[in-house]
Amino acid sequence: MRTLRLAVAVAIMACPVSALVTRADTVELPTPEAAKVQESKLLLAVQKANNAFRPDRLKPSVVPGTVRNDEKLLVGLGGDGTVRTVVMEQRLDVQGEGDYAIRERGPAREATTLGTERPPLTQKGAVVWQGFTPGHRALAARLRLDPALEAEHLPMTVAVTFTDASGRKGRLGDGGRIPGAGTVHVTVTNATEQPQDLPTGSDASAADLAGPLDLALRVARSPSADRLPSTDAGLPAELAVTGAAQVPASQGVPLHLTGSLTVTGTTATLTGPATTSTATGGSFDGTLGGSLPGRQDASVTFDVKAAGPGELALTLDAVATFNRQELAPPGSFLTWREWAASKPPAGSRKEALDLLVAVAASGARASSYSPYLGADLEGTGSTSYALSFAPPSAIVRAKPVLHPQWGAISLVGVGGLALLGAGYSVWRRS
């Protein structure tokens, strides 16, 4: 298990001896509410700059019971990896009897139904589901989102470059078109990290740490689209520790990536971490990023060597998870409960405490991405991401704005009058 590197400056010389006596204290683990405060600052700035609906003006939702909210984001990429289209398929299972008004920050540009119920309204970009449920109501819609705004909010970025056989660098054509023999470089970067002050301590009870860490370990061993445990569900809100303190660190959400890079029209090979190669490319399956600050694995690059021109198909599925390697108990223990029963020393308990804080921070940060549209609903749900190259026909290109050049127009006008005058003179002489 990696040791959490947290630097804490303590002015020992300035403290009286009595202040150095070890005492019991309580720390609050990172919460989704705190993580969303920082996320909202970015969203407000981006949406204000784009004259979009502001989430701080959204009214609260009203529902008669719990709601399960399942979301799948379909992201279409250009030939260089930039976000060109974003569509979300959302399915809501509303429980209870009575009126409901589910309000989500969006912004959405268009909504079409995926079932028999009416699609939600898109009021100034916000998504609003409203109606009456007799005890159960299944809602489903396809929402077209703004790619410029979502590019700032998605938990990952993709960059695609191409190096031809002579070493010249360029990009792929839209739709993943490979111009000739060469190597395609696809870099996926985890973009979830943000700075955050995190709690720590010099010691904590092994029994208190074992249960939450085993829960996180089960999630890491079986990644799914379901929401990560957090202090809102599954993890304790506070812990009894010795020597409580605050340290500057960061929050990040590990992402479980699966998918493939395959080429049609020619042969190709795929290389990169956690890859399986085939005659036309290959597949990948791994975890990108971690919970512990200071990790250097937030990006991964896949190289596809193509023998000639063709078309590259990218299939990338991502869900939030915990990093399995980080959460492995020390030594030969299979679970954290086994570790706790072994009466571990203080140093090992300190490492486990910092790991649990990092796990809680990841769970809190993940709430900014699931639910993706930011509905204030109590209940469960899932969020997954599917990235691929957008077909060229789906990419909308901005038309250049033409501004009149009055100086040039004046010269043309003067020239035209001169020609008319010359013509009139010739005609008069004829």
What pLDDT was estimated at residue 377?
82
- What average pLDDT does range 17-25 have in this prediction? 44
Q: Would you state the structure tokens that stand for residue 96, as one six-digit string?
A: 């209870």
Share of the chain above pLDDT 70, in %: 80
Which phi-psi region, left, alpha or beta, contains residue 179 (left: φ > 0; alpha: ψ -120 to 50)? Answer: alpha
Task: Evaluate whether 275 touches 302 at the Cβ level (below 8 Å).
Answer: yes
Domain contains 400: no
Domain match, 83 and 162 both: no
Domain match, 271 and 175 both: yes
Domain match, 174 and 233 both: yes
Domain match, 333 and 272 both: yes
Domain contains 5: no
Domain match, 107 and 252 both: no
Domain contains 342: yes
Q: Would you state the structure tokens that stand for residue 47, as one six-digit string?
A: 């949406």
- What average pLDDT does range 32-61 have in this prediction? 64
Domain contains 361: yes
Per-residue model confidence as pLDDT tens digits over 200-210 = 999 999 999 99
Residue 184's SS3 state is: strand
Q: For 314, phi and psi rounded to 5 degrees?
A: -110, 125
Q: Which amino acid is at 29?
A: L
| Residue after which a domain boundary falls, among 145, 160, 175 | 145
- What average pLDDT does range 51-57 have in this prediction? 51
Q: How far is CA 143 from CA 32, 76, 320, 384, 396, in A?
A: 25, 14, 21, 15, 17
Domain match, 273 and 195 both: yes
- What average pLDDT does range 67-75 have in this prediction? 97
Query: In which element (H, E) is residue 387 found?
Result: strand 381-389
Domain match, 55 and 120 both: no
Residue in 171, 182, 195, 178 with CA at minimum distance from that of residue 35: 195
Provide the mean pLDDT of the chain.
85
Domain contains 262: yes
What pLDDT was estimated at residue 38?
64
Q: Would you state the structure tokens that stand for residue 225, as one six-digit string?
A: 């689209």
Domain contains 345: yes
Q: Structural domain tally of the chain? A: 2
Residue in 222, 420, 426, 224 with CA at minimum distance from that of residue 320: 224
Per-residue model confidence as pLDDT tens digits over 345-355 = 999 999 999 99
Q: What is the domain range of residue 100?
A: 60-145
Name the one residue in this structure whose structure tokens are 């500057």: 248
Specify the pTM: 0.83
Domain match, 364 and 232 both: yes
Task: Evaluate whether 384 touches 67 at the Cβ level (below 8 Å).
Answer: no
Domain match, 173 and 121 both: no
Residue 296 vs residue 328, higher pLDDT? 328
Q: How far apart are CA 152 and CA 155, in angstroms?
A: 9
Greatest alpha-carbon span in the chain: 117
Q: How far apart are CA 275 and CA 265, in angstroms?
A: 22
> Minimum mean pLDDT among 106-110, 180-184, 339-343: which range?
106-110
Residue 396 pLDDT level (bands cut at 50, 70, 90): low
